[in-house]
Structure 1
Amino acid sequence: MSKAQQFHIVHIVHGSEEHLGPLAMLAVGIPIEKVPGGNWWTIDAQARPGDRVVFYIRRPVSCLVAIGTVISHPRLQDDPSEGWYGRYIADIADVQLLSHPIPVQEIRQRFRNWAYWRQPRAHICVPPQFAKTFWDYVLSHL
Structure 2
Amino acid sequence: MDEELERIRRKKLEEMKKMANEPKVDYPNSPLKVTDGTVDEVIGRYPLVIVDCWAEWCGPCRMVGPVIDDLAKEMAGKVVFGKLNVDENMKTSTKYGIMAIPTLLVFKDGKLIDQMVGAYPKNTLSNKIQKYL
Return the structure number with greater helix share.
2
Query: TM-score over 0.5 for the alignment?
Result: no
Return the structure number with greater strand share.
1
TM-score by structure 1 length? 0.29
TM-score by structure 2 length? 0.30
Q: Which has the larger radius of gyration?
A: 2
